[in-house]
Structure 1
Amino acid sequence: MPKQKITKEMIIETAFEIVRKEGLENLLVKNIAAKLNCSVQPIYSYCANMEGVKQELVARTAKFIREYVAARINKKDYFRSTGRSYLKFAKDEPNLFQLYFLRQQPDVYTLDDLYRKESSQQVGIFIAESLGISIEQAKALHLHMIIYVMGISAMAASTNIDVEGEDIQNQLDMAYNTFLAQLKGETHGKDIGNL
């Protein structure tokens, strides 16, 4: 039987499945080679070191996240269902959540840097048009919700919290309504926690 040709795509896909099922700590060249039933040489020929593999994995994971979230979006409640989808992703795929969202990002110095990296101008325009607010207000609301959802997502990825339970959904709704009311200037003199 002829030897199977190992491709870069096979290496990245195998590495992705290792991280997904076993965690980043098990991403070792010898583990990739064992899963592919080959020596470590083909892996090193495509990826000079594990940093190269990790960079490829971040891109592969980003694609997976986009597909995962897109499949769960409610078009009638696009903005909030997107946040809920990310939260479910953290619970369903804790190892991929850790790989992508908890990785070192030395080029991010401010929340504005983070927002530009994780969002797009089109998202701000969509939110602004959907909610009847300015683009600046839309970006601020989106950033607030990213911070809030990622905080709960980090907890969900490492605990047994039921992300689809009523208490979490109520928390998300309360945060959304509070942030939106603040941006619209509707909270003057009100106790924000009781909105």
Structure 2
Amino acid sequence: MFCCFQIFLDKSFFFMVFFYATSVAQRMLRERSHMPPKVKFSKEAIIGTALQLVREEGMASLTARALAEKLGATPRVIFGQFANMAELQTEVIGAAEMVVVEYIRKALEDEKPFRSVGVAYILFASKEPQLFQLLFHNPSKDPIRRFQDFLPMKDHSYQLVLDSIVADYPLTVEEASRLYQHLFIYSHGMASMVASGIYQFSMEEVIGLLTEVFQSLIKEMVGKK
């Protein structure tokens, strides 16, 4: 009789422990379900991957599905960080602009900074043709009424370039701006040919042509004084 009673107690204790453990586990699951999901991909990581996709295949390839596949995730991850694809595209354009800025920044550290800016611009078109076309072969969202407003609006390094010209040559800021406009037009033509695959200039050709144009412009401007 006592033995049966002991078995009954042992079973009761087992079931009590089992039900307690089950209730604790259920409570933990409920609490976990109410916790905000961990962010696996930050905004910066998504922008970086999107930029790489555009680098490889162009802006038209930047879709939620293609980006999610490259991330190894679902589109829900993207829209957890961005309201829509237009917002992400704006961020990607900004990131692409910073790539150009870095090219120009390095050029301005050169012994002949202004000429090197033109070389860097063409080098950017050669190394990053998709980004070049994204930034310079698409209509501007902000209409540009006068050409003299183009570089200040499009070039994040505009003032740094002008400062380098004025520091090295006997020109006013206005003359430096005009010189930069001329060289930009020339450099842009060469860069567009490179980015579109029409012709790949060698570095010797780039330096030689830009030097000739630059020297001619400087001679013309300084000679008038």
Normalising by structure 2, report the TM-score: 0.73
Aligned pair count?
185
Distance in 2, Cα, partners of 1:70 & 1:126: 11
Pick closer, same or farther for the CA change 1:5–1:167 going to 2, 3 Å: closer
- 1:90 has 2:125 as partner: yes
Distance in 2, Cα, partners of 1:76 & 1:164: 20
Deviation at 1:34, TM superposition (A): 0.6
Deviation at 1:140, TM superposition (A): 0.6
Q: Which residue of 1 aligns with 2:192?
A: 154
- 1:52 has 2:90 as partner: no
Q: Which residue of 1 aligns with 2:169?
A: 131
Distance in 2, Cα, partners of 1:43 & 1:26: 15
Q: CA RMSD in A?
A: 2.2
Distance in 1, Cα, partners of 2:162 & 2:205: 28
Distance in 2, Cα, partners of 1:73 & 1:21: 28
Q: Which residue of 2 aligns with 1:191?
A: none
Q: Which residue of 2 aligns with 1:110?
A: 146
Distance in 2, Cα, partners of 1:185 & 1:164: 31
Unpaired runs of 5+ residues, structure 1, are 187-195
The answer to whether the 8 Å contact 1:115/1:143 transfers is yes
Distance in 1, Cα, partners of 2:63 & 2:213: 40
Unpaired runs of 5+ residues, structure 2, are 1-36
The answer to whether the 8 Å contact 2:107/2:113 transfers is no
Q: Which residue of 2 aligns with 1:77?
A: 112
Distance in 2, Cα, partners of 1:121 & 1:39: 42
Deviation at 1:135, TM superposition (A): 1.4
The 5-angstrom pairing of residues 175-190 of structure 1 reads 175-185=213-223
Q: Which residue of 1 aligns with 2:57?
A: 22
Deviation at 1:72, TM superposition (A): 5.0
Pick closer, same or farther for the CA change 1:20–1:127 going to 2, 3 Å: same
Letter in 2 for 1:68: Y
Distance in 1, Cα, partners of 2:113 & 2:200: 22
Distance in 1, Cα, partners of 2:52 & 2:111: 33
- Does the residue aligned with 1:30 lie in a helix, a strand or coil? helix
Give deviations 1:45-78, integer Å, cap 9, x for gaps: 3222322122101111122222234345562111
- Does the residue aligned with 1:46 lie in a helix, a strand or coil? coil
Distance in 1, Cα, partners of 2:163 & 2:104: 19
Distance in 2, Cα, partners of 1:94 & 1:105: 18
Distance in 1, Cα, partners of 2:48 & 2:203: 33
- Equivalent pairs: percent with the same residue? 31
The answer to whether the 8 Å contact 1:88/1:163 transfers is no
Point out the structure with max Rg over C-alpha: 2
Letter in 2 for 1:115: L
- Does the residue aligned with 1:133 lie in a helix, a strand or coil? coil
Letter in 1 for 2:97: A
- Does the residue aligned with 2:111 lie in a helix, a strand or coil? helix
Pick closer, same or farther for the CA change 1:65–1:122 going to 2, 3 Å: closer
Give deviations 1:66-120, integer Å, cap 9, x for gaps: 2234345562111101110110110111011112222321322221221212244
Distance in 2, Cα, partners of 1:121 & 1:160: 31
